């Protein structure tokens, strides 16, 4: 009986406990379901975050691609830095935000918080562009906000006549012609003086071969320092005002050369005229890119390239006859006449082409007319003058210090460029003393370099793109910068051969045409090496191509000024044969460099990629 009651009691307890156990199970199930829901939501959020990160990454890739194309379209093949295409680092972006915030503060109440001002700046940054000429492709609605932001100043439609791309063809042609003419005159000044150096040294009672060489090459030393100052100035004040100021200063210092009472004074004025004479070389390509679209830019850039090619070669021809007929001072007066005429035409005919400055002027005018201080140019990068100078001066030096590619090519180009100006200072002496050429006819000898350079230009223009496309199709990996170097080994081999021909035929007094043929080979090799390295740097560094070219320009111009100082003394001790053979052996030692870069260039570019430029 008791057992029955016990069993009944247990059954009753189990029956009573069952609802409680069921409730616990339901609660556990509910908690488990809730945990699963939370985990699912967390996974969804993580997935959404990943998708957003992926979208941002893709948007950044699109932005980088557009910026790289923008750099090419903008004309970075010229030695011109520009605010269009700047990629700001965190510190640069912070400066930019602060700059925009400073411009926004006049509309903020005096008691507004710091957070409010920061919010205004952040809104402006998100609505504006980071200095790009086109919408940057940063995702989702930014472009729409930019387009509808009433405070952003842009061109009045695609056909705005104020946009340099929409100027009449005749006006673009006039501007391009003036730029090309000016780019011919200033390199002309580098060598036109060479045939008159013996007469000048006699007048100043000096027999120093080093001074005779330096008075010619010091002009090129100015080319090394000029671009570092002129390029940032053109970004702050525009291209035109820099052209005009540099033209006036160039004329003034050339007049100083013509009136120089001493050799030291002449050297100082030659250097300063070189500094200001580098302006069209620095700004010319950018001016053309400002107004000529990419598909039509080839012919304009070709005319621009003729000046630096032919100027130094035609210079000694004209200078030889003029110095013989009128004396060495008239060489400088001819430069004054030519540059003075061009400067006057330039002043009245040349229009400003730099889009950031044109839009800033428009924004300034509209701010004055409307009283709205928030109006700003679409191309305003928010960089201060100090930023421009810091970037313009230090970035090329940074690339030299940290990029093996830039350093190797700068040193290679320094040797080639130094050889060229060594010949400018030595050819006159060689052909006058060895072959009895007069002051008026010795300048014609330089045409050997000219013929070789023109042949190299034709050869390179015809073959470069063809080789590049062929290699890209063969390897199926797209267009690599290393493909631009396919003709460099040929030129690297021809350069020492040219010096061997030039040196030994002059040493043994062979017919004067023989050393001139050697000069033809040297001119051909110089041109192909120069163009190969230039195009490689443009293709390899895209956005920062201007800085890579500036680094190259600084090193090669210093070499072009310093190396000729040892030229005549070297020939006096070694003779023409072994002296030129020494140059040839050095060039021969550099022959492996193109093969090395062809094989390891891509690795070096990626391994030593420079950040925070």
The answer to whether residue 511 sits within a structural domain is yes
Which residues constitute the domain of residue 574?
395-613
Residues 322, 327, 330, 331: what is their CA dihedral angle, to the nearest 10 degrees? 60
- Say which CATH number the domain at 482 has: 1.20.1250.20
Q: Please give the Cα distance from 414 to 553 (Å, whole number).
A: 9
| 578/527 same-domain check | yes
Domain identity same for 481 and 546:
yes
Q: Does 27 map to a domain?
A: no
pLDDT (mean) for 447-472: 79
Tell me the two tokens of residue 241: 């005002």
Rounded to 10 deg, the angle between the 263-277 and 279-291 helix axes is 10
Dihedral over alpha carbons 160, 165, 166, 169 (to 10 degrees): 170
Q: What is the mean pLDDT of residues 438-450?
A: 81
* End-to-end Cα separation, the chain, in angstroms: 97
pLDDT level of residue 269 (50, 70, 90 thresholds): very high
Helices (H), 204-354: 209-237, 239-258, 263-277, 279-291, 297-326, 329-349
Integer-rounded Cα radius of gyration of the chain: 33
Residue 338 is predicted with a pLDDT of: 93
Q: Please tell me whether residues 531 and 562 are part of one structural domain.
A: yes
pLDDT given for residue 147 in this prediction: 55
Residues 180-219 have pLDDT tens digits of 899 889 988 988 888 888 888 989 888 887 788 888 888 9
Q: Which residue matches tokens 């730099």?
A: 354
In terms of residues, how long is the chain?
Answer: 613
List CB contacts of 98: < 8 A, sequence separation 6 or more: 121
Closest-CA residue to 237 (of 374, 131, 361, 342): 361
Q: Are 338 and 370 in the same domain?
A: no
Residue 170: predicted pLDDT:
87
Inside any domain, residue 602: yes
The answer to the question of residue 29 being in a domain is: no
pTM of the entire structure?
0.66
Using the structure block, give the residue that is written with the tokens 């928010």. Answer: 382
Residue 295 pLDDT class (50, 70, 90 cuts): low
The confidence score (pLDDT) of residue 87 equals 38
Phi, psi of 174, rounded to the nearest 5 degrees: -65, -45
Please, is 521 exposed, middle or buried when counting C-beta atoms within 10 Å of its C-beta (0-12, 13-18, 19+)? Answer: buried
The kind and range of the H/E element at 376 are: strand 376-377
Distance between CA atoms of residues 465 and 539, nearest Å = 13
Q: Please give the Cα distance from 195 to 446 (Å, whole number).
A: 11
Same domain, 155 and 208: no
Number of domains into which the chain is organized: 4
- Give the CA dihedral 337, 307, 518, 576, nearest 10 degrees: 50
435 & 556 share domain? yes
**Res 288: pLDDT:** 80
For residues 321 and 201, give the distance between their C-alpha atoms in angstroms, rounded to a whole number: 18
Q: Is residue 2 part of a domain?
A: no
Please give the full DSSP string across 493-542, using - where no structure is assigned: HHHHHHHHHHHHHHHTT--THHHHHHHHHHHHHHHHHHHHHHHHHHHHHG
Do 364 and 440 lie in a common domain? no
* Whether residue 311 is found in the same domain as residue 428: no
The alpha carbon of 513 is separated from its chain's Cα centroid by a whole number of angstroms, namely: 39
Distances (CA, A) of 89 to 95, 143, 200, 390, 613: 10, 21, 53, 14, 8
Using one digit for the tens of pLDDT, what is the confidence trace for 326-361?
A: 889 999 999 999 999 999 998 998 888 888 888 888
pLDDT of residue 76: 37
363 and 234 within one domain: no
Asked if residue 6 is part of any domain, the answer here is no
Residue 23 counted as domain residue: no
Token pair in block for residue 116: 């409010």
Are residue 125 and residue 204 in the same domain, yes or no?
no
Q: 266 near 260, Cβ under 8 Å? A: yes
pLDDT the model gives residue 524 = 92
Query: Residues 490-547: pLDDT tens digits?
Result: 999 999 999 999 999 988 888 899 999 999 999 999 888 887 887 777 667 755 666 6
376 assigned to some structural domain: yes
Kindly state the percentage of the chain with pLDDT values over 70: 70
Same-domain status, 569 and 438: yes
Residue 17, pLDDT score = 45
Query: Residue 459 above 90 pLDDT?
Result: no
Note whether 469 and 556 are same-domain residues.
yes
């Amino acid at each position: 009986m008791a057992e029955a009651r016990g069993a009944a009691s247990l059954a009753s307890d189990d029956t009573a406990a069952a609802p409680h156990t069921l409730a616990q199970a339901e609660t556990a199930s509910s908690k488990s379901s809730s945990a699963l829901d939370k985990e699912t939501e967390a996974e969804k959020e993580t997935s959404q975050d990943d998708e957003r990160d992926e979208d941002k990454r893709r948007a950044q890739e699109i932005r980088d691609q557009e910026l790289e194309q923008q750099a090419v379209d903008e004309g970075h093949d010229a030695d011109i830095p520009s605010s269009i295409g700047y990629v700001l680092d965190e510190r640069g972006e912070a400066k930019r935000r602060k700059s925009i915030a400073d411009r926004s503060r006049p509309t903020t109440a005096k008691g507004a918080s710091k957070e409010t001002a920061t919010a205004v700046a952040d809104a402006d940054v998100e609505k504006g562009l980071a200095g790009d000429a086109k919408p940057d492709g940063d995702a989702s609605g930014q472009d729409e906000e930019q387009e509808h932001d009433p405070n952003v100043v842009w061109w009045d439609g695609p056909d705005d006549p104020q946009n340099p791309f929409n100027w009449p063809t005749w006006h673009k042609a006039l501007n391009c012609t003036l730029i090309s003419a000016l780019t011919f005159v200033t390199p002309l000044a580098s060598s036109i003086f060479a045939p008159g150096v013996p007469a000048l040294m006699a007048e100043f009672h000096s027999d120093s071969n080093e001074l005779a060489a330096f008075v010619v090459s010091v002009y090129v030393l100015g080319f090394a320092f000029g671009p570092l100052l002129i390029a940032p100035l053109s970004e702050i004040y525009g291209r035109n005002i820099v052209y005009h100021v540099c033209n006036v200063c160039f004329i003034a210092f050339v007049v100083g050369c013509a009136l120089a009472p001493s050799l030291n004074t002449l050297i100082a004025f030659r250097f300063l005229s070189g500094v200001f004479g580098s302006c069209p070389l620095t700004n010319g390509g950018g001016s053309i890119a400002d107004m000529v679209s990419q598909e039509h830019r080839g012919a304009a850039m070709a005319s621009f390239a003729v000046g630096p090619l032919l100027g130094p070669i035609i210079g000694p021809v004209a200078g030889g006859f003029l110095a013989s007929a009128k004396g060495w001072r008239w060489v400088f007066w001819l430069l004054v006449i030519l540059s003075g005429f061009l400067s006057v035409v330039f002043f009245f005919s040349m229009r400003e082409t730099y889009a950031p400055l044109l839009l800033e002027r428009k924004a300034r005018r509209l701010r004055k007319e409307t009283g709205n201080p928030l109006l700003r140019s679409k191309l305003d990068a928010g960089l201060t003058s100090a930023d421009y100078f810091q970037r313009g001066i230090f970035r090329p030096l940074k690339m030299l210090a940290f990029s093996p590619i830039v350093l190797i090519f700068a040193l290679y180009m320094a040797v080639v460029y130094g050889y060229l100006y060594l010949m400018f200072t030595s050819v006159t002496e060689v052909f006058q003393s060895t072959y009895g050429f007069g002051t008026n006819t010795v300048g014609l000898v330089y045409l050997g370099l000219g013929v070789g350079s023109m042949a190299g230009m034709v050869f390179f223009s015809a073959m470069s793109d063809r080789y590049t496309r062929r290699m890209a199709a063969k390897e199926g990996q797209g267009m690599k910068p290393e493909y631009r170097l396919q003709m460099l080994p040929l030129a690297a081999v021809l350069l020492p051969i040219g010096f061997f021909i030039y040196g030994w035929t002059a040493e043994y007094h062979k017919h004067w045409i023989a050393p001139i043929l050697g000069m033809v080979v040297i001119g051909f090799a110089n041109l192909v090496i120069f163009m190969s390295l230039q195009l490689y740097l443009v293709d390899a560094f895209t956005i920062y191509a201007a800085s890579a070219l500036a680094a190259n320009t600084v090193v090669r111009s210093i070499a072009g000024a310093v190396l000729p100082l040892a030229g005549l003394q070297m020939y006096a001790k070694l003779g023409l044969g072994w002296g030129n053979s020494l140059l040839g052996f050095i060039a021969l030692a550099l022959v492996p460099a193109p093969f090395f870069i062809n094989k390891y260039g891509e690795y070096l570019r990626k391994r030593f990629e420079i950040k925070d430029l």
